[in-house]
């Protein structure tokens, strides 16, 4: 398949205020796309099927990227399984149903590498999907995403529409959720080390043993991959998007500490979950189409820290003393992104 999107395509980026959606928005703007459509969760609650159907009927997008989801780090996922399952099922069902009934010609559904079995052979090939039990800490989120992938393959088979799915590895970048209780590991560590630097703390405590390994993809690279896939990919297989490079969480902590300029001790709270030991993606399918990630972990982290310093209230007022920020050990108080 090779039908490049044209810059006047009416392209709806669902979730355009989130980590991935905002990177998609930047990407397509910088490529001269003039007909981008986005709605914040205040303007459009994607969990509401009537409102979502009305929005599609009014705006008539031609192409849709589903980057809207309730997302969170390991503890948020583990402690709010009902929210992660039902909000995500509703969001994606409303989006995909509305796309079909309003004649959307192309749609990209974004999943996550957590859809694969916990003990999948590494690196994880696309065919590992549904071949074994899931990691417990993010099962609800993963089951919702698997339902979305199944809906896409069903639509391809039953309705012959060229809708596709992609499975990115752990994504990070500007616009992430830097709440240390609810965010994913990269923004949580940036916030923790920054606070410790500002407060002059002698040590920072990170979660788990530090031994799990993760593969990190910079959000702007993922946006570029999404554009590439919309132009070049048309297959029922939910395609992996990653870098092929892995680091241990302990190595990640050392890199983040160096970038932030924090020189104190790093401790590990083993009462917090490690989650999946490894989830490195096999990216040969995407490699063979000719797409590769461009941003190194180091430069992606530097850009993200710069964005954090320039854009967050937490960074501006300097750390944990600010009222309203959750303290270490607080219950997750996260706000998901629905639109
Ligand atoms: P996961 O890939 O679904 O497990 O998502 P996370 O990004 O939340 O966590 C990745 C790994 O980083 C896990 O092994 C966590 O235990 C570890 N980790 C270490 N410190 C932190 C932290 O401050 N926040 C989060 N979310 N994870 C952390």
Q: What is the pLDDT of residues 256-275, one digit of tens each?
A: 999 999 999 999 999 999 99
Ligand 1 mean position, distance from CA 20 (Å): 18
How far apart CA 24 and CA 1 sit, in angstroms, is 22
Q: Would you state the structure tokens that stand for residue 318, as one six-digit string?
A: 């300097």
Chain segment 149-206, per-residue pLDDT in tens: 999 999 999 999 999 999 999 999 999 999 999 999 999 999 999 999 999 999 999 9
Number of structural domains in the chain: 1
| Residue 256 within a domain | no
- At 261 the three-state DSSP class reads coil
CB-ligand 1 contact for 174 (6 Å cutoff)? no
The CATH code of the domain that includes 133 is: 3.40.50.720
State the catalytic residues: 141
CB-ligand 1 contact for 252 (6 Å cutoff)? no
CB-ligand 1 contact for 180 (6 Å cutoff)? yes
How far apart CA 58 and CA 231 sit, in angstroms, is 26
Atom 14 of ligand 1 has which residue's CA nearest to it?
Answer: 274
CB-ligand 1 contact for 208 (6 Å cutoff)? yes
Residues in the chain: 339
Cα–Cα distances (Å) from 289 to 6, 157, 165, 241, in that order, read 20, 23, 15, 12
Ligand 1 mean position, distance from CA 191 (Å): 13
CB-ligand 1 contact for 72 (6 Å cutoff)? no
Closest to 1 measured CA to CA, from 222, 150, 164, 224: 164
Ligand 1 mean position, distance from CA 154 (Å): 33
- Cβ atoms within 10 Å of 239's Cβ, excluding its own: 21
How far apart CA 250 and CA 208 sit, in angstroms, is 10
Atom 12 of ligand 1 has which residue's CA nearest to it?
Answer: 185
| Residue 104 within a domain | yes
Q: Would you state the structure tokens that stand for residue 21, as one six-digit string?
A: 């959606």
Residue 28: CB partners within 8 Å, gap ≥ 6? 11, 13, 36, 223, 227
Ligand 1 mean position, distance from CA 250 (Å): 11
Residue 50, class by beta-carbon neighbours within 10 Å (0-12 exposed, 13-18 middle, 19+ buried)?
A: exposed
Q: What is the pLDDT of residue 1?
A: 58
- Cβ atoms within 10 Å of 211's Cβ, excluding its own: 13
pTM of the model: 0.93
| Residue 263 within a domain | no
| Residue 183 within a domain | no
| Residue 269 within a domain | no
Over its length of 339 residues, how does the chain's per-residue pLDDT go in tens digits? Answer: 557 999 999 999 999 999 999 999 999 999 999 999 999 999 999 999 999 999 999 999 999 999 999 999 999 999 999 999 999 999 999 999 999 999 999 999 999 999 999 999 999 999 999 999 999 999 999 999 999 999 999 999 999 999 999 999 999 999 999 999 999 999 999 999 999 999 999 999 999 999 999 999 999 999 999 999 999 999 999 999 999 899 999 999 999 999 999 999 999 999 999 999 999 999 999 999 999 999 999 999 999 999 999 998 766 544 333 333 333 333 333 333 433
| Residue 122 within a domain | yes
| Residue 330 within a domain | no
Q: Which domain holds residue 162?
A: 11-176+216-245+279-294
| Residue 57 within a domain | yes
């Amino acid at each position: 398949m090779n039908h490049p999107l044209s810059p006047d395509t009416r392209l709806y980026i669902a979730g355009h205020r989130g980590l991935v959606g905002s990177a998609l928005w930047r990407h397509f703007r910088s490529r001269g796309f003039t007909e981008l459509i986005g709605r914040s969760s205040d303007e459009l609650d994607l969990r509401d099927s009537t409102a979502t159907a009305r929005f599609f009927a009014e705006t008539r997008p031609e192409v849709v990227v589903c980057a809207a989801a309730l997302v969170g780090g390991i503890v948020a996922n583990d402690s709010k399984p009902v929210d992660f399952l039902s909000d995500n099922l509703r969001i994606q069902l409303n989006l995909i149903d509305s796309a079909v009934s309003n004649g959307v010609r192309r749609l990209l559904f974004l999943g996550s590498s957590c859809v694969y079995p916990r003990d999948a052979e590494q690196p994880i090939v696309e065919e590992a999907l549904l071949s074994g039990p899931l990691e417990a800490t993010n099962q609800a989120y993963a089951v919702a995403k698997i339902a979305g992938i199944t809906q896409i393959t069903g639509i391809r088979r039953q309705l012959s529409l060229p809708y596709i799915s992609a499975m990115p590895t752990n994504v990070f970048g500007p616009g992430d959720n830097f709440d240390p209780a609810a965010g994913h590991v990269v923004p949580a560590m940036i916030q923790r080390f920054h606070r410790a630097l500002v407060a002059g703390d002698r040590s920072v405590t990170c979660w788990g043993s530090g031994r799990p390994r993760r593969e990190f993809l910079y959000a702007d690279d993922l946006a570029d991959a999404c554009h590439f896939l919309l132009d070049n990919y048309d297959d029922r297989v939910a395609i992996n998007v990653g870098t092929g490079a892995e680091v241990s969480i302990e190595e990640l902590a050392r890199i983040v500490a160096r970038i932030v300029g924090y020189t104190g001790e790093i401790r590990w709270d083993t009462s917090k979950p490690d989650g999946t030991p490894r989830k490195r993606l096999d990216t040969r399918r995407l490699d063979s189409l000719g797409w590769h990630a461009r941003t190194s972990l180091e430069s992606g982290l530097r850009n993200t820290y710069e964005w954090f310093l320039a854009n967050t209230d937490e960074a501006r007022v300097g750390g944990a003393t600010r009222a309203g920020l959750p303290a270490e050990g607080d219950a997750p108080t996260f706000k998901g992104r629905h639109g």
